Every structure is written in structure tokens, then in C-alpha cells.
Structure 1
Amino acid sequence: MLRRLSVTMTATATFCLLCSSLTIAASKKPQPPDKFPPNPLEITTPDPLLPRSPKDKQPLTPQERQKLEAALDDLNQQAAAKLQAGDKITAFDIWNRELRLRRFLGSLAEVQALSRVGTVAWNQNESQQVQYITQRLQAIQKEAQSQKTTDLQLLQALGLAYLEVRSPKEAVEVYTQVLAAVRQRKDSAAEVDTLKTIGELHLGWFDYASAASTYEQLRAFASSRGERLNEIAYLQQLAYIYEQTKQPEQSLKIRNQLAEVYQQENNLIQLSTLKQAIGSDYESLARKNPSLLQEAFKNYQEAYTTAWQLEQYVRAGEALQKLIALYRSQGQVEEALQASQILLQAQERAANLYGLMNAYDQIGQIHLERKDYPQARVAFQKGLEIAQQLNYDELYFNEQIQKLSK
């Protein structure tokens, strides 16, 4: 009986609560859905700084234009002062007013102002303001594309403005139009500059495939004009791109071209580093085509001998490490041991104690592979002596020696 009474009371309470909720809900007016705040750059309220109503389509006279420009420059200074004083909200309110009025001075003047304020907004982490400016830039771009003639100066300003507000997709789109325009005008210098901008944009946003296409165009252009320094710079950029995208075949093609250039110019410093990279490309390709292993060995050897010749022992040591690892991966233990002895000399001449310690460890490991335990112990003992000098990794070497003692 008690249980039945409890259930009845609970049901009654729930019913009363439900009725009460419905009554409260019915008494409240429905709330309008949340709306995004309007873009302040699209406000059309008349402004006292304008000499006449915005509905009057007659262009400003030179005197009216000069007066408005001066007033807008003053607004820009006021906004900058407010920002400096820490009043960010008022600063951008003033800037937005300036930007609304800049459009009466023409699209170019407006875009240049949008670019300037966009830079400030980005640096101040004002994402909403950046969005307002980007939307206005897109509207100007759309209007410009509807015109019969191409306003190159406006397009270039738009591209720069998109860069300032970090809109790479729109920037590339605009600069592609700029590229078509300057090519039509046969303006070689502007074509190269535009291609560079597009290439940097692709690289900045890790679009390596598009970047490669752009730098291939730049390389071909430099090659056709005999601009050797520029061609080298573009080849270096392409080598980097293909390395990032793990395309050893393309990377190897570019690096071999660079190697020829360095050899012709007797640029041994760059050649040493490049030969090591070429060796890595061949090593990667050898996984599918083992016949290319010899090219990997050859380039690693050339890398370290060239560096040694230049007395760049750190670089020589890096190439030797690559060579030793390749020997060991192929079971060529004796060759790995011989290269390790040369590595010891390189590290000694470079005064690289850490490198020397690691070289003795490597030699000890190779002797273990050969089951030459006395020589392994000697190598680990020398490694321990250096570890004690460095106060580093002593425990590791002691453990290796203890294992051999057992």
C-alpha cells in the first residue's frame, strides 16, 4: 500500500511540474534565432564627412577628394592612437568608418586601406575583423572580374591584401589573373615576380605539387635567358620540394643537374653536401631497384672525400655515417669497419668528442657482429673514457663492458 501511494505521489508531482513548465513556456515570447553581427563595412548610414549623399553618383571633385583623403588619414591616425592606448574596440570602430568612406575614393584606394587595416587586425588576433575585411575584398574582386578590361594595379593590390589577411586560396586566384595579364603584355620582369609570389604562396601553405609546377616554370625561364644564379636558386628550391614530397626520382633528376653546375663552377663546398643528398636518393630508389646501390655508395664516398679535401671534417663525418649504415645494411661488415676507422679520424680532427664517443660505440657494435669480443671491449672502453670526460652515457658503456666480461 505504501509503495502504491509513493508511486501515485511521484506521478502527481511530475504531472504538476510538467504543467507548470508548459505554462511558463507559453507565457514567454519566442526568441529570435541568433544572428551574426552585420559587417560594419557594409553600413550605409550617411556620414558627415561625405560632401554629398551616397545616392548621388556624381564623382567627387578634386577639392572634395583632397578634403576627404585628409579627413580619412586623420581617422587612421586617431584609430592608431586608440590602439596604442589599449582601446582596441574604439580603434577598430574608427578604422571601419574610415574603410567605409575609402570606397568613395575608388577601389584601389579602398583595397590599399583594407590591406593596411587587415595587417593590424591579423597581428591583433581580431579574427572577426579579418573576416569582415576578407568579405569586402571578395566583393571588390567579384566586381573587378565583371569588368571588360583588366585593372592590373587593382589586381596586384588585391593579391597583396589577401596575403595580409592570410587568404592563400584567394591570393593565388588573383595572382593567377595577374600572371595572365602581365604575360599578355609581355612584361617579363613582372611575370617572374608574379611567379615567385605564387611559388612562395604554395610553399607557405605546403602545397608542394603546385609549388613544384611554379618553380619548374621559373627554372625554364631562367635557363632560356642564361640566368645561371637564378636557375641554381630555382633548382635548389625544386630539390627541397621533391625531398619534402618524398619523390626521390624527381629529386635525383634535379640534384644531378645541380651537381653538374657545381662541378663546372668548382663549387666543392656545395657539391659535398649535394653528393650526400644524391646518395640518399639512390639509397631510397635502391629499395625497389638494388642495382642502384652502387651509385649510393659512390656518392657517399665522393661526399666524404670532397669534404675531407676541404678540411670540413664534420660534414665528412656525416657522409661517413651514411656510408657505414649502408655497408652494415648490406652485411658488408669489413667495409663498415674500415669506414668507421676513417670516421674516428674525422671526429678527432673536428674535435667532436660526442661524435668520437659514438664512433667508438659503433666500432664496438661492428666487432660484436664479427664476434671479435676483445676488440669490441677495447672500443667500448675507449668510448667509456670519453663518456667520463663528458659525464654522459657512462652507464651504457659500463653495461656493454660488463656483458663482455661475462
Structure 2
Amino acid sequence: MSVDFNLRKQLLLKRQPQRIFGFLGTLVLAIAGTLSLPAYAQRIDPVLLDAFLTDPLVAEPKDPLVPDTTVERTLSPLELYEIELELFQMDAQAQQLLLDGQSDEAFALWIREVQLRRLFGVEAELEALERIGQQAWNGQRDQEIRLMAARVKRIWLAEKAIASLERVETLARIAQILRMRDTSTEIYQQLIAMTAAEDQHAWQVVLADHYLQWFDFANAAQLYTTLAERAKTQGNTLERTEYLKHLIYSHQEAKQYAQALPAQAELLSLYRTTGQSDREPPLEIDMARNFRAMGVYSKAVDYYQLAYATAQKLELYGHVSTVLKDLGDLYAEQGLTNEALSIYNLLVRAEQQAYNQFGILEAYDRLGQLYLNIGDTENALIAFRAGVAFSESLQYREAYFRGEVAKLSLGADPQPQPSPTDPSLGDTLRDDLRDNPPFDASPVEIEPMDPDPVEEAAPDEPAVPAAPPEVEIITDETVEVEGAPDLEDITTP
């Protein structure tokens, strides 16, 4: 609510004796019944919409506050003064009704007020639309929002060719409050055109954010590209970093992975030059995932390797685990079982190093399922038994791991499942993956870690094992590979 509105309201109410609007009771209830919605987002009744959009001076039947005139004429200052007194009282009554939990009756009054404010000109009407529109949005009043949005659109169409900068800014605020996607876009674009070149930046940021809110990722990416280039030219590293993040997000959400990679490479370079090394591993993981989504698996492995090395150096073990999960899954999907088993065994150790018992549990599950897929029931049983120990300690997924152990212990002989293959991947890809091992540093050596201490079990309860059995590690062999990938080598397919 504007300061000007409050001051005028207080001044006029001091000069107006308090009285009860008894004659409004029936009308309020009738409008409230019309506006109440059995379901959110219901379409507006065309009759109701037409009645709301009609000028109150010519509407039939007339609102009780509009004086009857024998000829068409504008209202006198005294008549307008009396109506404004009534409108201030109407607003006060609506606020009280809202506090009393009678929201339908409150918004019936407010919708009347919005319509009658047209008698005082566009500025007064826009003030009411902004104030009451915010109340409607806060109260999730779908139909009132739609009514006011329809009126704002008409005002915009009538005003956009002649409106002042201040008027357009007011319309922009109201359109945003009412979540008017297309109208807001037009208004922001006009604001950019009306603003001097050196001052357009703020509205460009608002418009870019607006595009993101409405999932218009293509336009958002285009605008954030412009903003990032501007920040680079001005040497504003902080703004450039934020715009690159939004640019990457826009491409990622649109599944434009190839377009996201150059922006990610630029952001990675910024992190390195500004000493933000802790932000490198998650970005490198995202880049690896983009290459993986594009089917460029050798590049994906390169960036997983880079993220692993950085995360290990900084002791960011959560990111180490993420790399191992992703890389193990990648090898498993491509049928490279030995490589996947090696990575999952490393994952167990990494989760131990991070003291992440839920992660250890998940790693044993991955190992067990992969052993089952190749028909190695002995090692699968060892992995699931280790999972039982941790699941009992955590009281999480106990039934699942016990069930897997029970099935294998009863002699069930699971049939080996064929390794997944992709006809588009040939022997060349498989050779590339085998010749591009994941890490150029020796795996960390971690002592086995016991689960959290458990209180002594009651006589009728089985004791929980102090530590899970060891799982055979297929290989810890260290293979020498070339250095980390050069950012300039990023290419899009």
C-alpha cells in the first residue's frame, strides 16, 4: 500500500464519522458467493469478467456508490470525495473481514473497490490493483487474480504507446505480482528500450530472471550470455561468475549440454584464477556428466579424473564419492565389469574415509548387485552380509539386505544378466574407456572402519557384528595416464 494512499485515507477518515455499512451486507454476500471457487484455477465466468471490466459510470446495474445521473456527465469533485470516503471504509472493512477469516467477503469488497477506483483515474486504479493484487496472490485467490490481470492487460494495451517511464515501471510491478508472463515480458522489454544504454543493465537482469521463472531457458540463456560478456568487458568478476552460473543452469535445464560446456569451462577458469578451488570439483563433475550425456565417454572420464584429483587434494570426500559412484555406474553400463568392481571397491573406502555409513551401505549394495549380474554369488553374498551389518547399525534397509542374504544363502543361483550394450558404441569406445583409467594417483589406503558403537544387546536380541566382513578388492592397480584435460580442448560434437 502506497504512502500517498495511507495519508489520504487517514485524512479523509478523520473527517468522516464512523458508521456501519448495513446496506452493503446483502451485496457483499452475493458477490462473495459468485467469486468463491470450488477448485483452484477455474476459468472465469465471462459474465463476471465483463461486469468487472465495464466502466462503473455506465455499468448496469450501477454500483450503489455511483450517483444516478439523468444525463451522461463526469462526477463532481464533491461526489468523488464522498465515494472516496466510502472506498477507504470499504478497504478497512475488507481488512477486518480477512482477519476474521471471512476471505470471500473481504475479496468481494476489494474487487468492488478496484472497479470503483477507475473513477479517479489510471493512477488511482493502478495503486489499488497493486495493493489488492498482492493480497490476492498471498491468499491464492485465483479468480480475483485473473480478473485483475485482465484489467491490467487492458490498461497496458491502452497506455504502452504513451506511458511515462514511471507508469511503465508501475505496470511492471503489478504484472509481476499477478504473475502475468507474456505481459511482464513485453513491459520489461519496453523498459529496456526506454532506458538509456548505460542504465539498461538492471532491467536486463530482471528480464533474464523473469525468463528463468517461466522456464523460457532459450531466451534466458541468450540474455545471460550478453550479461556475462558485459561483465567480462567491465572486469566485474563477481557479476560475471553469477551470470555464468545462470547461463549454465539455463542450458542444463534445456538439456543443451554442448552449449553449457563452454560456459562451464569459462567458469572453471574463473574459479582457478580467483582461488576458489573448493568449487572446482562439483563443476568438473557436472562437465563430466554433460560429456557422458552427449556420449563422449573418454572426455567424461577425463573430467571425472580431474574432479577426483582436486577433491582428494582438498579432502572433499563427498565429491570423491560422487565421482566414484558416477564412474562405477558408467563402467557398469558399458559392460566393463572388472573396471566397475574396482571403482565400487574404492567407493567403499572413500565412504569410510568420509565417515558416511549410509554411503558405505549404498556402496556394498552396488557391489552386491554387480556381482549378481555376473553370477559371482560368493562375492555377492559377502557384499550383502557387509550391508546387513551396517543396515542393522543404522536401522535402515535391514529387510532388504537380509532378504538378499537369505536368497543367496538358500542356494538360489541367480542367472547372469547380459551386460548392457549400445549398438552406437563400438569396440573403439570400449578400448578408449579401458585405455583411459580413472585416476593417475594411487587409491587412498583406508583402514576398515567399525560401525558406530552399539549398546550391549538384550538377552533376547542378537548382537550386532562390530564390523562388516572384508570384500575382496578386484584390483587396486595403479595405471599411469596423461595429465588432466586442457580446457581449450573442449569440443562439441
* TM-score, normalising length: structure 2: 0.64
Q: 1:323 to 1:175 in 2, by over 3 A?
A: same
Q: 1:331 to 1:132 in 2, by over 3 A?
A: closer
Which aligned pairs between 1:129-140 and structure 2 lie closer than 5 A?
129-140=144-155
Shift of 1:36: 0.9
1:163 aligned to 2:176? yes
Residue 289 of structure 2 contacts residue 300 of structure 2 at CA under 8 Å; is this kept in 1?
yes
Shift of 1:163: 1.6
Residue 344 of structure 2 contacts residue 367 of structure 2 at CA under 8 Å; is this kept in 1?
yes
| 1:242-261 alpha-carbon deviations (Å, 9 max, x no partner) | 11111110111211111111
Which aligned pairs between 1:65-104 and structure 2 lie closer than 5 A?
72-104=87-119
* Structure 2 residue matching 1:36: 3-state secondary structure: helix
Residue 364 of structure 2 contacts residue 387 of structure 2 at CA under 8 Å; is this kept in 1?
yes
* Structure 1 residue matching 2:215: 3-state secondary structure: coil
Backbone CA RMSD of aligned residues: 3.3
Partner Cα distance (2:222, 2:119) in 1 = 40
Residue 249 of structure 1 contacts residue 285 of structure 1 at CA under 8 Å; is this kept in 2?
yes
Q: 1:69 to 1:228 in 2, by over 3 A?
A: farther
Match in the other structure for 2:7:
none
Q: Of 36, 56, 61, which residue of structure 1 is paired with 2:47?
A: 36
1:240 aligned to 2:249? yes
Q: 1:298 to 1:98 in 2, by over 3 A?
A: same
Residue 357 of structure 2 contacts residue 390 of structure 2 at CA under 8 Å; is this kept in 1?
yes
Match in the other structure for 1:214:
223
Partner Cα distance (2:289, 2:104) in 1 = 55
Partner Cα distance (1:388, 1:35) in 2 = 63
Partner Cα distance (2:413, 2:151) in 1 = 77
Partner Cα distance (1:140, 1:194) in 2 = 21
Which of the two has greater helix per residue? 1
Residue 301 of structure 1 contacts residue 323 of structure 1 at CA under 8 Å; is this kept in 2?
no
Q: Of 248, 258, 283, which residue of structure 1 is paired with 2:292?
A: 283
1:195 aligned to 2:204? yes
- Ranked by relative contact order (alpha carbons within 8 Å, sequence separation 6 or more), the top structure is 2
Q: Of 110, 120, 135, which residue of structure 1 is paired with 2:125?
A: 110
Partner Cα distance (1:318, 1:95) in 2 = 54
Residue 284 of structure 2 contacts residue 307 of structure 2 at CA under 8 Å; is this kept in 1?
yes
Q: 1:315 to 1:398 in 2, by over 3 A?
A: farther
Q: Which amino acid aligns with 2:149?
A: T
Match in the other structure for 1:186:
197
* Structure 1 residue matching 2:247: 3-state secondary structure: helix
| 1:340-367 alpha-carbon deviations (Å, 9 max, x no partner) | 2321111112222222123223334455
Q: Which amino acid aligns with 1:169?
A: D
Match in the other structure for 2:470:
none
Q: Of 285, 289, 299, which residue of structure 2 is paired with 1:295?
A: 299
Partner Cα distance (2:232, 2:51) in 1 = 49
Match in the other structure for 1:55:
73
Q: 1:160 to 1:397 in 2, by over 3 A?
A: farther
Match in the other structure for 1:312:
316
Q: Of 401, 404, 420, which residue of structure 2 is paired with 1:396?
A: 404
Q: 1:36 to 1:102 in 2, by over 3 A?
A: closer
Shift of 1:54: 8.6
Shift of 1:46: 8.2
Residue 383 of structure 1 contacts residue 397 of structure 1 at CA under 8 Å; is this kept in 2?
no
Partner Cα distance (2:371, 2:109) in 1 = 76
Q: Percent identity?
A: 27
Q: Which amino acid aligns with 1:162?
A: A
* Structure 1 residue matching 2:275: 3-state secondary structure: coil
* Structure 1 residue matching 2:179: 3-state secondary structure: coil
Residue segments in structure 2 that go unaligned for 5+ positions in a row: 1-44, 415-493
Q: Of 359, 364, 367, which residue of structure 1 is paired with 2:363?
A: 359
Moved more, 388-397 or 269-278: 388-397
Match in the other structure for 1:5:
none
| 1:122-169 alpha-carbon deviations (Å, 9 max, x no partner) | 33343332233122212211221242xx41111111111112222111
Partner Cα distance (1:46, 1:363) in 2 = 75
Residue 317 of structure 1 contacts residue 346 of structure 1 at CA under 8 Å; is this kept in 2?
yes
Count of paired positions: 358
Partner Cα distance (1:119, 1:203) in 2 = 21
Moved more, 256-265 or 348-357: 348-357
* TM-score, normalising length: structure 1: 0.77
Partner Cα distance (1:233, 1:139) in 2 = 36
